[in-house]
Structure 1
Amino acid sequence: MIHSRSLAVLALALVGLYWAPPSAEAATTCTTSTTPLAFGTVTGAANADSNGSVTITCNTFGLSLAAGVRVRMCLYIGDGVNGPGHFNPRRMTNTFGDPLQFQIYRDAARSQTWGNGSFPAPLQVDLQYSVPLLGGSGSITANLFGRVFAQPGLAAGSYSNPFMDGHTWLEYRYAESIFGTPNWPGSCSSGGTGGGSTTFPFTASATVPNNCVISAATNLDFGTVPGLINANRDQTSAISFTCTGRTAWNVALNNGQNASGSTRRMRLGASGSYVNYELYRDPGRSQRWGTTAGADTVPGTGTGSVQTLTVYGRVPATQAVPAGNYGDVITVTVSY
């Protein structure tokens, strides 16, 4: 009887060892690193594209046997610190608060806006990796596809929109398995073994340079004078140009091809006959238009739209010259 009881105790001990539970499954944590969405120099004349990226790295430790992990992640992006409060489109601003419209997409074709709700939707990515005895990790990179739209009337400056912690977040659920590969979690917020969240801040930036382009300069035609020029002949012409907003400019007119000192002259063909004339900045024709900034040029500031200046011309009396067609060529310079 004593021997029988001894066998019973031994049997219970063996059963206890056989049913000892395996070590607990480990927690999985995910972290992020980002690159900026930098567009560089843009002019607004055409679309400008750039890419950024978010790299997610997940780590799992403590699984007792060879195992697998599956992580389902959703990346949410809001409208940013300088955003307009909506996604259509997003906006960067410069130090003056001038807007620059852009967008962030989930796809390379730039057709799916990246958002933080049902519309526009976040980006979902799935990550699977194995976990050996001492632990394991996996990583995946998601690209941000950015576009600055073609848009007129831009102001010069450095533009940015920071997407800080409150404007980006990553939500994830993971499923762990001691043996083999587990099923995917049902979503980024439910199912699986556990989950967590983190952020992935980045900054979108672009620079609009100072720039001016002359679009037109009309001829200054003094008409026909019968015989002696015995009265002033006044006419006007126009110079049209476009400068980016907030660009300081100066418009200068040189003395032409036939000047004598500072006296502008039109010439009769290749002859030695000339008609004196002058160009002015004001309707009263008292302010000569020249090339010295701050003295006799016309200053201004760009608006991003076409700006037009009037050139006030005069052929003064009295001049007696041979009949014929007189002409000169003036060079217009816009400095900025």
Structure 2
Amino acid sequence: MRRLAVLLLLLLGLGARPAQASTSCSASLSDINFGPVSPFGGNVDVTATLNYSCTITSILSSSRVRLCFSIGAGAQGAGNFNPRQMTSGANPLYFNLYKDSGRSLIWGTRSNSYGAVETTMEIGALLGSASASGSFTVYGRVPAGQTTAVPGSYSNAFSGSHTELVYQYNEFLLGLLGYPASCASGGNGSGSGSFAFTAQAQATAQCDPSFTVENIDFGTRGLLVSNYDTTAIVKPRCTNTTPYQLGLNNGLNASGSTRRMKSAAGNHVSYELYRDSGYSQRWGNTQGSDTVAGTGTGSAQNVTIYGRVAPQPTPRAGAYSDTVTVTIYY
């Protein structure tokens, strides 16, 4: 009878938490580097990997663990989640982090409506210790349409309270216990940690190569005995705060520095292009000398070209034209 009593006591003890067991979990997330970002381009999408692992140190013990991973707004995020932001000085560049490849489910925290990411794992140790691991993909996006972004190096540091790993676990011997009810309660043990990382991007200075240039049309004229003036608009678009210069070459039919239009018969009409409405500042192609300077805003800007055909001997009637190249230097 004594042997039977002892055996029953041992069997009843098998479902209890082992006195010497210990479960611990940790996580790490690689930096999220968007690289060069064009304010005039499309979405920039990248991914990063969140790795996690749990270890139980015991003999003939198991642990069932429930883990939650929260990502906050970041130190430079001003508390915003939709969208998140990186900063370069006082300038923002917007981005976000998602749970899904479709980039529709924002990765948030346990305390906001976007929610953390949750998972479970089971570990069994026969002799000494055992570990289990897993990973999640974090999907990042810098959205298109940020045309007023200022060029510079942008970042947001996620450390301290801006990332959170919280877990609950149930440890047991050869019996069976379920998973804890949540990451914050329901287990016979718990733990927490963080997984610091940095989000970063480089907004590049640039000017849109497909800017609009109007043709210069002097109309139909008779004798060239007076000035014939006209204007046209060129619309450069450069990134916000980016300095630029607009240069005009002498065209295809110039004689020295004199611009000329040419007819099919090989005759010429001289003309000139100016930077000012007084027609006194010739528009050329030498940076810092006879170009037009501006500063980008991220939007197209109207710059006026002033054209003049001055009095000159009138050539034979016909259609006269020239091709001038507009160059943006930045």
TM-score (norm 1): 0.88
The worse-fitting range, judged by mean Cα deviation, of 148-157 and 286-295 is 148-157
Change (3 A) 1:217 1:186: same
Q: Does 1:112 align with 2:105?
A: yes
Q: Does 1:58 align with 2:47?
A: no
Q: Does 1:48 align with 2:44?
A: yes
| CA contact 1:72–1:185 (8 Å) conserved in 2 | yes
| Match in the other structure for 1:68 | 62
The worse-fitting range, judged by mean Cα deviation, of 300-309 and 35-44 is 35-44
| Match in the other structure for 2:317 | 323
Residues 110-149 of structure 1: matches in 2 within 5 Å? 110-116=103-109, 117-149=111-143
Q: Of the candidates 260, 267, 289, which is equivalent to residue 265 of structure 1?
A: 260
| Match in the other structure for 1:6 | none
Give the Å deviation of 1:129. Answer: 2.0
**Gapped runs of 5+ residues in structure 2?**
none
Q: Of the candidates 155, 159, 175, which is equivalent to residue 160 of structure 1?
A: 155
Q: Does 1:79 align with 2:78?
A: no
- SS of 2:301's partner is strand
- SS of 1:242's partner is coil
Q: Does 1:31 align with 2:26?
A: yes
| Match in the other structure for 1:171 | 166
| Match in the other structure for 2:93 | 100
List, as ranges, runs of 4+ consecutive aligned residues in structure 1 with deviation greater than 3 Å: none
| Match in the other structure for 2:281 | 287
| CA contact 2:235–2:301 (8 Å) conserved in 1 | yes
| Match in the other structure for 1:150 | 144
Distance in 1 separating the partners of 2:113 and 2:99: 12
Distance in 1 separating the partners of 2:204 and 2:59: 59
| CA contact 1:215–1:242 (8 Å) conserved in 2 | yes
Q: Does 1:226 align with 2:222?
A: yes
Tell me the alpha carbon deviations over residues 241-299 of structure 1, each in whole angstroms, 9 at most, x when there is no partner. 2112222221110000000111111112241x211111111111111111110001112
Distance in 2 separating the partners of 1:270 and 1:69: 93
Distance in 2 separating the partners of 1:181 and 1:159: 50
Give the Å deviation of 1:108. Answer: 2.1
Identity of aligned residues (%): 43
Tell me the alpha carbon deviations over residues 101-124 of structure 1, each in whole angstroms, 9 at most, x when there is no partner. 211112222221111224011111
CA RMSD of aligned residues (A): 2.3
Q: Of the candidates 199, 202, 221, which is equivalent to residue 197 of structure 2?
A: 202
Distance in 1 separating the partners of 2:325 and 2:164: 57
- SS of 2:236's partner is strand
Distance in 2 separating the partners of 1:312 and 1:54: 59
- SS of 1:290's partner is coil
Q: Which has the greater radius of gyration?
A: 1
- SS of 1:327's partner is coil
- SS of 2:97's partner is strand
Change (3 A) 1:181 1:241: farther
Q: Number of aligned pairs?
A: 319
| Match in the other structure for 2:326 | 332
**Gapped runs of 5+ residues in structure 1?**
1-10
Change (3 A) 1:270 1:157: farther
TM-score (norm 2): 0.90
- SS of 1:166's partner is helix
